[in-house]
Structure 1
Amino acid sequence: MKFFNFSFLFLFSQACFAQTTYAVIVGISDYEILDYRTGDLKYADKDAIRFMDFLKSPLGGNVPNQNMVSLPNKRATKNNMSEAMRIFQKAGPYDRVIFYFSGHGVESAFVPYDVKQKDPSSLLTHADVKKAFKASKATTKLIIADACMSGSMKSKKPPVSMAKAVKEFNDINVAMILSSRSSQSSVETIRVKGGLFTFYLLNGLQGKADKNQDKKVTIKELFTYVSPRVKKGASNGQAPVFAGKFSDDLVLSLIP
């Protein structure tokens, strides 16, 4: 069961925009302090692999391996994630940087593999990611986070509001796609062998969201495709939210 999912997206095709992409891709299903009874996930690491495969494809921009850092499971420590994001500093002003995270999340933070119970300093905070983004010259800065909160990690505080979540990144112009509202859960399912949101997100980017069949998928088309399918698949218990600063006509992928 996925909870407070801080999922953000802003994808371009390098073939169209001649951008160089740098990406850090994190997927954690197996946590050091958890097991399947206390909150380990089934598909987070696999969703990260699927997203990386998309970036390698023509639709995702043919991103070369040397421009991506993959951190699955045990490799996804806080220190490794922080170090990996230094790759964003290689980007020029017309490039894009992407931080993809699939795993557990808590209020205003991502949960690394080596998180310590009751130790907030062991979390990778949104502020940490923002700092890495601000050090990059890239025009396009993307965060895609498929983050689940396990019962053992839930805070007694009310969920962070959408307004607060968006505001944290407003001054660096990050466009966001949140897989669910803060009061909702986000679903993993054996039917698609992954998270519903990531499943439909990738399907949409690979062409199914191209409603007007102009061989381009815009951010508006993607939302129109993803949102109702996730809602239906989750029996109306999960509603994706798109937020941030972007044009509805922003092209996310090109269809051959």
Structure 2
Amino acid sequence: MNPTGYPQGHALLIGVANYQQISSLPAAILNDVNDVAATLSSPHYCAYPPANVVTLLDTNATRAAVLKGLEELAARAGPDDTACVFFSGHGGIVGSPGNEESVLVTVDSDLADIENTSISSNELAVALAQIKAKRLLVFIDACHAGGAAISKRLIDGKGHELKSGYTQDVLAKLAVGSGRALMASCRADEVSAVFPSARNSVFTTALLAGLRGAADKSSSGFIKVFDLFNYVSEEVPKLIPADQHPIFKADNLEVNFAIALSQGGKKSPHSPETTPMVQKEVPWSVLEKILVELYPFGPRDQEVWSRAGGDLSRLQLHPTGQAAWHAALRTLKQGGGGRNINFGSLLSTAKEDFANHPQLAMLKIP
């Protein structure tokens, strides 16, 4: 693994501002996608390989192209990878009251035939389920109209108008699965706002700051899913008080998994904020905390235990990655876990994978 990058990171970013048959959205929508793409692929921020970050903007974001993009993401993102899907544009609510369904509105959608020219929540859920990455984070910035800010609404100038946004039930459905999470820009009855002349939407303004390092308050060297949402959910209401509150959905999320490197504003490995913890704590307990963070699915994650010389058959199965690591290290301290594994080999393997992690870099063989 490249110690200066995050090669396991993959992303598909979709933005539509200039619809063919539906009301347009501010240019900030396209800036959102371009800026998130630049941040993810920047070696100074998230360090995804640029080839792994795919964008579909305006005319390139047709129904067929978006579905193909999701299919290609599923093909290239393996089980040990991290995948992000970002959509900024119109979302529409179809169906009768009490039986409402949400659709993702692509550049070629037609309000007169919306159910056949958009991507239904079922189609989107099936496409997301095909992505085998153990860590999948979906961002949706497509919500209801209203309020004083520039907002998102669906009209076509031909007398057709559609309630915009995504229902709570649909957002929950899109987050189903182990290691899957979804972050939406606002509640179902709120506006996802873009202020006049602003470069980015309110939601993406906070998201970009979080990805550029503000969400990594502990200077861990990683942007982690819970930390990112906590940051965004605190910052958005500051930008537009009482009017917009991001929401988070997860079905079976065990740990605060990393989604990217945090290269922006990273503290020195010898920072006084990080050094005392390693000096005061026993190396085994420090290593356990770090391994839970870096390999949240346990010793089988990225085959780290086997690569360090261990024998997975000597370990017991546990329901969470954190429990699996605690039991595995306890076994290792007692001399078990495999003939060729020890503290040093496990530490060395982790350092090979994540050589830029400040606390890991300071750990030494006791």
TM-score range normalised by the length of the shorter chain: 0.7 to 0.9
Q: Aligned ranges for residues 166-245 of structure 1 at < 5 Å?
A: 166-171=172-177, 173-190=179-196, 192-244=198-250, 245=252
Where in structure 2 are there 5+ consecutive unaligned residues? 94-101, 144-151, 156-160, 267-366
Q: Aligned ranges for residues 1-256 of structure 1 at < 5 Å?
A: 20-34=8-22, 38-58=23-43, 59-65=45-51, 67-87=52-72, 88-107=74-93, 108-119=102-113, 120-148=115-143, 149-152=152-155, 153-155=161-163, 161-171=167-177, 173-190=179-196, 192-244=198-250, 245-247=252-254, 249-252=256-259, 253-255=261-263, 256=266
Aligned residues: 238
Q: Which residue of 2 aligns with 1:10?
A: none
Contact 2:13 2:86 in 1 (8 A): yes
Displacement of 1:173 in angstroms is 4.5
How far, CA to CA, are the matches of 1:211 and 1:173 in structure 2? Answer: 23
Question: Cα 1:17–1:63, aligned 2, differ >3 Å: closer, same or farther?
Answer: closer
How far, CA to CA, are the matches of 1:62 and 1:216 in structure 2? Answer: 12
Displacement of 1:96 in angstroms is 2.5
Where in structure 1 are there 5+ consecutive unaligned residues? 1-13
Cα RMSD (Å) of the superposition? 2.7
* Secondary structure of 2:11 counterpart: strand
> Aligned AA for 2:109?
V
How far, CA to CA, are the matches of 1:85 and 1:167 in structure 2? Answer: 17
How far, CA to CA, are the matches of 1:140 and 1:16 in structure 2? Answer: 20
* Secondary structure of 1:118 counterpart: helix
Contact 1:146 1:179 in 2 (8 A): yes
Question: Cα 1:214–1:160, aligned 2, differ >3 Å: closer, same or farther?
Answer: closer
How far, CA to CA, are the matches of 1:225 and 1:62 in structure 2? Answer: 21
> Aligned AA for 2:190?
Q
Displacement of 1:161 in angstroms is 4.3
How far, CA to CA, are the matches of 1:247 and 1:155 in structure 2? Answer: 35
Displacement of 1:172 in angstroms is 5.7
How far, CA to CA, are the matches of 2:235 and 2:33 in structure 1? Answer: 21
Which structure: larger Rg? 2
How far, CA to CA, are the matches of 2:137 and 2:162 in structure 1? Answer: 26
Of Structure 1 and Structure 2, which has the larger fraction of its residues in strand? 1
TM-score, normalising length: structure 1: 0.81
Q: Deviations over 1:56-102 (max 9, x none)?
A: 1133233232x333211111110111112221222221113332211
Of Structure 1 and Structure 2, which has the larger fraction of its residues in helix? 2
* Secondary structure of 2:106 counterpart: coil
TM-score, normalising length: structure 2: 0.58
